[in-house]
Amino acid sequence: GGTLSNLEKEKIKVTEMYTSINGELCKIDRAPP
């Protein structure tokens, strides 16, 4: 595999951040009131 450019690394970081935020929100949504 080739090395990722810094831009690609930043994009992956942001994507993972949003994915984990969405996962947390889903957990909160599923939690009983």
- Structural domain harbouring 22: 1-33
**Number of domains making up the chain:** 1
Q: CA 17, CA 7: separation in Å to the nearest integer?
A: 15
DSSP annotation of 31 reads S
Nearest-5° angle of CA 1, CA 20, CA 29? 150
Residue 11: what pLDDT? 96
Per-residue pLDDT 10s for the chain (33 aa) are: 678 899 999 999 999 999 999 988 888 888 777
